[in-house]
Amino acid sequence: MEYQKAAELNGLCKGKIVTEYLCRNGFSELTVDSKKVSVQHKTEASRKEAEDESRLPALEAAYTTILRGLGENTDRQGLLKTPLRAAKAMQFLTKGYHETIYDVLNDAIFDENHEELVIVKDIDMFSLCEHHLVPFFGKVHIGYLPSKKVVGLSKLARIVEIYSRRLQVQERLTKQIAMAISEALQPVGVAVVIEAAHMCMVMRGVQKMNSRTVTSAMLGVFREDPKAREEFLALTKGAQ
């Protein structure tokens, strides 16, 4: 029995990422080197910070060009540092590209004999529409039916943060959150609903101030069993 990816052993090592392992007679021998993973993550974080710093001048220049293209005087006092601020802001708003669920989960997955529905509602979400680079924001409701493993509740919000801090469309964001939780916990089922307002509809285009977009992703039992799906939707109905 051979495994090429750590994700294939997910849930077998108390939430730790498997970086070195040996499989004989099933899973009788399994080596976990969590310290090595921690060092690797710190190294990757340092490299990411260095990459961001090296890219700032190009981003700053690009924002300067945009402002001048709009007819602004980039030498006036109010705009002197705006290109740099905008560049740093964009790096922060898209920092999810450099993060994975394993960066936030680590030791936060626990063995627990709990087989009932777990729901976290009203998780604030902010993202950027990839079509116009304007914000969309709203609430995320997450539910999962554990299979002997649970995750620290705050980590669900962190998973939302990872995927929302990218250029997104709401449909893909909803599915990515659900798939990430399913991969990490291997639960019986995962349900995710997002309700958001899109500034590309509110500030421009059709300019419909009160419009909301609702998307859902149902995996496992929530897709297969109408009663499970109805229970989740009933418990999240009216959540704001």
Give the residue numbers marked as catalytic: 129-132, 170, 198, 200
User: Cα separations (Å) of 6 from 40, 101, 147, 189?
Assistant: 15, 13, 19, 21
d(C-alpha 120, C-alpha 178), whole Å: 13
Specify whether the CB–CB gap between 98 and 177 falls below 8 A.
no
Beta strand residue intervals within 83-188, DSSP E: 109-111, 118-129, 135-145, 149-151, 167-168
Dihedral, CA of residue 173, residue 176, residue 180 and residue 181, to nearest 10: 60
d(C-alpha 224, C-alpha 174), whole Å: 18
d(C-alpha 219, C-alpha 221), whole Å: 6
